[in-house]
Structure 1
Amino acid sequence: MRLVTRDLQEAIAAVTDVYCPHNVKVLEGIRGIDAVLESSGPSRQQIVTLRYAAPVKIDAGSFDNLLLFMTCVDGSAEARQGGISVQWGKGKTLPLSPNISSELTFDRQFCQKSIRLDKNFVEEVCSRLIGRALDVPLRFRLAPFSAALEAAWRQALQLIRNLEDTELSLAPCAWKQFEEFLGMLVVEAHPHNYSDVLRHVSSAAEPRLVREAEHLMRTGGPAITVGEVAKALRVSLRSLELGFREARNMTPIQAHRRIRLSAAREALLNSTRSTSVTSVAMACGFPHLARFSGYYQQTFGETPNQTLRRCRGGEA
C-alpha cells in the first residue's frame, strides 16, 4: 500500500488504519504537509514507512494494543510515554509499548520505518522465557536499541523485505520460526520490566526433559518452535537452554536447527522433479536461504544444491 497526500485528515485516517487512533498537529505555523505512507510485507510482520515532511506533534492517546518498533531513517524525533521522554535520531530504533499515554514529536526531516509485533505473542514469548505467567503487562524501556541489537534488528527487517515474494510468504512454518526469533530477540536483548526476573532464572532442566524436548522437536516437525516445546514440557525457555548446554553442549535452538537440517537433507535425498532448494528450506522452517545453505554445508559437507544435483544424477 502506498499513499501520497497533502491532505492532513487523509493522512491521519490512513495512519489510523495502520496503527491506532491519534491526532496530529502541524507545528511552527506551517499549514501544509507532504505525507508519504507505505506498507509492505506479511500482515504479521508488516513494515511501514511514514513521513510528513513537516514538523508535527502526535497525540496517540493510550497507544491501544500497539507494540511498535520505530526506526528513524532520517531527521530526529522525541517520544513521551508514561511521563518519560527520550529523543532519538537517524539509524536508531525505539520500542514503544502498548496501552500507555503516548506523544510523539517529529521534525521536518523525520522519516520512520517501523514494524508492529503482536503484543500478546511477545508477552507469551516472555512468559515462556521466565516459565510463568506475567503478573503485569510487558513494558519495554523507552530507550533506543543498543548497537548490537540495532544491527541484528536491521538484518531482520531486511530479511522481511527480501521475502516479499508470494511463493516464500506462503511458508507458514518458516514465518512461525522467524516470528519467535523476533520476539525472543527483543525480550532478551532490550531492557524491560521482567529483565531482572529473566536474569535470575538459573535452574537447568533435567536430562530427562532434554530428551523429551528432542523427541518433541522430531515429532512436531519444522512447524513447532522451541517456545512451544518449553510450554509443552512446562519448563521455562531459560531452564531448557541451560539443560541443553549442560547435556548437549548446545542451545535448544541449535538442536532444533540440526533436526530441521536432517529433515531438509532427507527431502533433498528423496527429491522429485518439482523439488527445489528454496521449497525445501522454507518447508523446513528456514526463511533465510543463504544461512540455510551455510548451516547445511557446515553440517553435511556439501551445499543443498550439490545434494540435489547428485541425487538427480548430475542434472542441473
Structure 2
Amino acid sequence: MLEHALLYDARGQPLLSGRLNASRDWSEVNAFCHRVYMPLATRPLVAGSDPNATLRTLSIGRIVLSRFCFGVPTRADEFDPSSGNIIVVNTMRGGVRHPLTDGTGIDTVAGDSYVVDCSRTDYWNIANGDDLQFNLTIPHKLMEETAQRWYGFVPEDDLWKKRLVFGRGHSPWLSLLDYATLSVDAQNNRISSPLIEKRIEETLCLELLRGWAECSGLNLETGARSAAPRYVREAERLMEERAHEAPFVADIAAQLGISARSLSEGFRRFRGVTPHDYLTARRLDGLRKALEEAPPGQTVSSIAGARGYVNLTAMTAFYRQRFGETPSQTLRNRFSRL
C-alpha cells in the first residue's frame, strides 16, 4: 500500500516530473523540511554523513503530502509550535522512533501511522536511515474546522496533546491515503476537480480525527457538546432556525437574556469558534440547501437575496471556501438533474 504514492498517478503516468525529488545536500533537505513541515532542527547520527534523501511533495487542499526520508540515521527535533501544524507520519519501510504522551517512545514500522500536533506539544523523531515515510502536514485550524462542522464542538487540548499511533498494518486510513494519491492527475500534479479535492481533504481530516479520538478515549458523538451550558445550545438552535433571516448575534443574545460578550465567551470556550462564525456556517448551509432544492427560473441572486445576502462577491468567496464550488455551480448541478 502506498508503494506508488507521489510516484505515479492512477494511469501510471509519473508525478512531479522536473522537480527536485531527491538530494544529497543537507541545505536542500533542511529547506524542504522547513517548507513542507515547519522550522525544525536536524542532525545526522553518524558524524559527517551526507543525506540520501527522498523529497517529493504535493498538496490536496490545505493538506501537504510528502514522500520523504533522510537516507541516513537522523534526529529531528525543535519543531516550531508557532507554525500551527499537525504531522502524521506513515511509515512505509524501516523504522522511526517517536515520543508518546506518557513520556516513553515507540518505534513505528511499515504500516504504522503516528500523529502529533506540534502546535500543542513538543515532538522529536529518530529515523534509522533505512526508513521511508509518507507524511501529512495539516493545519491545526483545519482540524478544528472539521470537528466543529461534523460534531458541533472543538475538542480541547486533552486530545490535541495526545501523541500516539492510531493505525497499524493495512488500516482503512492507509487505504484512504492510497485512494487520495491515486486521485492526483500527473498533468498538473493535483486533483483536477476542485469539488473532489475539497471532499478528499474533508474525508482525510475526518478519518484522522476519528482515529485520533478513538485511540485517546474521546467519544466525539457525546464529547464536549453535552457539557456546554444551556445558553450556548439554545443559541445554536436559534441560529439554525433563523439562519434564513440573517439575524444579528446581538439579537440572539438578547433573546436569551444574556450579553453578546457572554455568548461570545461561551462559544469560544465550548465550541472553539465565535458565534458569528457559527452563524455564518449555518447560513451558508441553508443557502446550499436552498440552491439544491431551487425550482426552475430561480437565480443565485434571487435565492441569496431572499436569505439576506447583500454582498454577493463576499458570499461567493465564503461559499467556495466551505463547499469547494461556487453557488452558480451548485445551482447548475441542480438544474441539470431536473
Q: TM-score, normalised by structure 1?
A: 0.59
Equivalent residue for 1:56?
A: 74
Distance 2:147 2:196 in 1: 21
Is residue 129–residue 198 contact of structure 1 (8 Å, CA) maintained in 2? Answer: no
Residue 199 of structure 1 deviates from its aligned partner by 4.7
Tell me: CA distance 1:139–1:69, structure 2 relative to 1, closer, same or farther (3 Å): same
CA displacement at 1:7 relative to structure 2: 1.6
Instruction: Report whether the alignment pairs 1:219 with 2:282.
Output: no
Q: Which amino acid aligns with 1:219?
A: A
CA offsets 1:185-235 (integer angstroms, 9 cap, x no match): 1222223798535253598x99xx89x99976642549xxxxxxxxxxxxx
CA contact (8 A) 1:86 1:142 kept: no
Instruction: Please give the alpha-carbon distance, in whole angstroms, between the structure 2 residues aligned to 1:85 and 1:17.
Output: 26
Counterparts of 1:79 and 1:168, CA distance in 2: 31
Aligned to 2:26: 8
Aligned partners of 1:140 and 1:193 also within 8 Å: no
Question: In structure 1, how many angstroms separate the alpha carbons of the residues matched to 2:286 and 2:221?
Answer: 28
Task: Note if contact 1:95-1:140 (Cα within 8 Å) is conserved in structure 2.
Answer: no
8 Å CA contact 1:58–1:104 kept in 2: the answer is yes
1:44 maps to which residue? 62
Alignment correspondent of 1:69: 88
- Other structure's SS at 1:78 match: strand
Structure 2 runs not aligned, ≥5 long: 1-18, 227-235, 244-281, 294-331
With 158-167 and 50-59 compared, the bigger mean Cα shift is at 158-167
CA contact (8 A) 2:92 2:133 kept: yes
Structure 2 counterpart of 1:159? 179
CA gap of 1:36–1:189, structure 2 versus 1, over 3 A, is closer
Equivalent AA in structure 1 for residue 147 of structure 2: C
Partner AA of 1:78 in structure 2: R
Matches within 5 A, 1:82-161: 83-99=103-119, 100-136=121-157, 138-139=159-160, 141-147=162-168, 151-161=171-181
SS in 2 for 1:198: coil
Name the CA distance, whole Å, in 1 between partners of 2:64 and 2:145: 20
How far residue 126 of structure 1 moved from its aligned partner, in angstroms, is: 1.9
Report the counterpart of residue 52 of structure 2 in structure 1.
34
The match for 1:183 is 205
Whole-angstrom CA distance in 2 between matches of 1:137 and 1:125: 17
CA distance in 2, matches of 1:3, 1:167: 14
Tell me which amino acid in the other structure corresponds to 1:4.
Answer: A
The structural deviation recorded for 1:132 is 3.4
Instruction: Report if aligned partners of 1:41, 1:161 keep a CA contact under 8 Å in 2.
Output: no
Kindly indicate whether residue 98 of structure 2 is the aligned counterpart of residue 79 of structure 1: yes
Percent of aligned pairs with the same residue? 16
**Structure 2 residue aligned with 1:174, among 153, 172, 196?**
196
Q: Which runs of 5+ in 1 are unaligned?
A: 223-262, 271-316
Give 1:95's aligned amino acid. V
**Contact in 2 for aligned 1:140/1:192 (Cα 8 Å):** no
Tell me how large the CA RMSD over aligned residues is: 4.0
1:162–1:41: structure 2 CA closer, same or farther, 3 Å change rule? Answer: farther
Secondary structure of the residue aligned to 2:126 is strand
* Deviation (angstroms), 1:106: 0.3
| C-alpha deviation, 1:24, in angstroms | 1.2
> What per-residue deviation string (whole Å, max 9, x for no partner) do you get for residues 143-202 of structure 1?
222348x63222222222222224973422222222222222122222379853525359
